[in-house]
């Protein structure tokens, strides 16, 4: 079977977690499948971004016809013009889209991965133009795909309730994490060196992720500010991640609460350094309002960090009973959970043990095997139906 894969996220430098998802899924597919043939399409792919050397994988850079414009303008122009012609030439047996859209012309079986419906669920989480584009594309994809892969039961429910997708078309495949990278650091010196690099010289609470509105960092800052005002903690708050649309309110909250010396913004942290920062934290807090899955809490558990996260959307599926779940809209509840963890060493140790065990339930190998089975079943089902 010849499988064509739209891997747009590999070229989008703002893709963050979605680029990580795509990279790990494709590299894991290459490890579990040597018999099918793959053509992977991307644009502005950085050298070394995708580590696949299998002969059955071909990486194609699609024409960047509008290279003078931001990435998504160029990709969208190509996707709805030349991509269908390219696929007609390459003649795949099946098409897999790693972002929630499908080309306009698609005579072959189609599988689409849908991470979440955040732009539909949270009205103020994204720019209006992005919400409009996303809504049109995801509705079309959910309607026209032969099979949908959702990355959590929460996303599956949203697809059914908000887009009217047929339950029988949807399979849930949980993402994994890179267990070669995300694990407790056995070397305190390495941890200390990484912390000094980012100006962290005392006990700290950490958040990891892009600085966008849906991550709810503003309420995390307010919870931290209340703990500081009450003199309950001596910790710093470390916010690790790239800046994004709408993040200025977070910086304003830090200034408004007089926390300039208490909150450390690291900016983007290379993946190999994240486990060191996670391993050294007293608690990892991820109060997101809505997630398709939530890989950062999983990675934090794998590093032995106690995790506090939201009781919303998919996040309870990720942490189970290994973490503390809070109402992401309740600042007091977030603050109480943080204080509970940082003030109780026995609780932190218990959460570390539970988190390490919980993380073992998720793996990219398992995700790749399940995805491959869905692709092969979709192709076989369509092929049998065509013959009949």
Terminus-to-terminus CA distance in the chain, angstroms? 20
Give dist(CA 129, CA 137) in Å, integer: 12
Share of the chain above pLDDT 90, in %: 76
Q: What pLDDT shows up at residue 384?
A: 47
The mean pLDDT value for 343-362 works out to 98
Pairing between β-strand 204-208 and β-strand 170-172 as defined by DSSP bridges: unpaired
Mean predicted lDDT score pLDDT of the chain: 92
Query: Hey, is 39 helix, strand or coil?
Result: strand
Q: What pLDDT shows up at residue 207?
A: 98
Q: What pLDDT shows up at residue 350?
A: 98
pTM exceeds cut of 0.85: yes
Q: For the chain, how long is the longest CA-to-CA vector?
A: 73
Q: Say which residues have a Cβ less than 8 Å from residue 67's Cβ, sequence separation at least 6.
A: 74
Give dist(CA 259, CA 253) in Å, integer: 8
Q: What pLDDT shows up at residue 49?
A: 76
Q: What pLDDT shows up at residue 18?
A: 82
What confidence tier does 10 reach under pLDDT thresholds 50, 70, 90? confident
Find how far residue 89's CA is from the centre of its chain: 33
Domains, the chain: 2-175+364-387 (3.40.50.2000), 188-359 (3.40.50.2000)
Task: Kindly tell me if the per-residue pLDDT of 386 is higher than 60.
Answer: no
Task: Kindly tell me if the per-residue pLDDT of 69 is higher than 70.
Answer: yes
Task: Kindly tell me if the per-residue pLDDT of 383 is higher than 60.
Answer: no
Query: Hey, is 107 helix, strand or coil?
Result: coil
Give dist(CA 217, CA 289) in Å, integer: 10
Q: What pLDDT shows up at residue 123?
A: 81
- Which range in 31-40, 78-87, 98-107 is most confidently predicted, on average pLDDT? 31-40
Give dist(CA 388, CA 385) in Å, integer: 5
């Amino acid at each position: 079977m010849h499988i064509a894969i739209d891997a747009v996220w590999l070229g989008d430098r703002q893709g963050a977690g979605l680029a990580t998802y795509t990279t790990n899924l494709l590299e894991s597919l290459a490890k579990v499948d040597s018999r099918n043939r793959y053509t992977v399409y991307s644009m502005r792919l950085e050298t070394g971004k995708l580590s696949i050397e299998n002969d059955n994988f071909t990486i194609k850079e699609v024409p960047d016809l509008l290279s003078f414009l931001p990435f998504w303008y160029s990709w969208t122009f190509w996707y709805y013009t030349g991509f269908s012609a390219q696929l007609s030439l390459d003649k795949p047996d099946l098409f897999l889209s790693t972002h929630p859209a499908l080309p306009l012309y698609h005579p072959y079986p189609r599988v689409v991965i849908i991470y979440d419906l955040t732009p539909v669920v949270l009205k103020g989480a994204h720019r209006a133009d992005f919400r409009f584009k996303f809504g049109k594309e995801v509705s079309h994809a959910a309607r026209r795909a032969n099979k949908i892969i959702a990355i959590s039961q929460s996303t599956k429910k949203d697809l059914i309730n908000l887009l009217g997708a047929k339950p029988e078309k949807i399979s849930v495949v949980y993402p994994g994490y890179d267990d070669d990278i995300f694990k407790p650091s056995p070397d305190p010196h390495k941890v200390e060196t990484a912390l000094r690099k980012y100006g962290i010289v005392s006990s700290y609470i950490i958040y990891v992720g892009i600085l966008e509105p849906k991550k709810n960092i503003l309420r995390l800052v307010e919870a931290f500010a209340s703990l500081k005002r009450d003199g309950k903690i001596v910790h710093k708050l470390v916010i690790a991640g790239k800046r994004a649309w709408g993040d200025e309110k977070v910086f304003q909250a830090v200034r408004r609460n007089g926390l300039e010396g208490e909150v450390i913004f690291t900016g983007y942290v290379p993946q190999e350094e994240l486990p060191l920062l996670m391993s050294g934290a007293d608690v990892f807090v991820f109060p997101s309002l809505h997630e398709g899955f939530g890989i950062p809490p999983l990675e934090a558990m794998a590093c032995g960090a106690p995790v506090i996260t939201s009781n919303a959307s998919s996040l309870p599926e990720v942490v189970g009973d290994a973490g503390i779940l809070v109402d992401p809209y309740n600042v007091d509840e977030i603050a109480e959970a943080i204080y509970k963890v940082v003030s109780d060493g026995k609780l932190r140790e218990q959460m570390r043990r539970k988190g390490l065990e919980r993380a073992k339930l998720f793996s990219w190998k398992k995700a790749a095997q399940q995805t491959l089975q869905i692709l092969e079943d979709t192709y076989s089902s369509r092929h049998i139906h065509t013959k009949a």
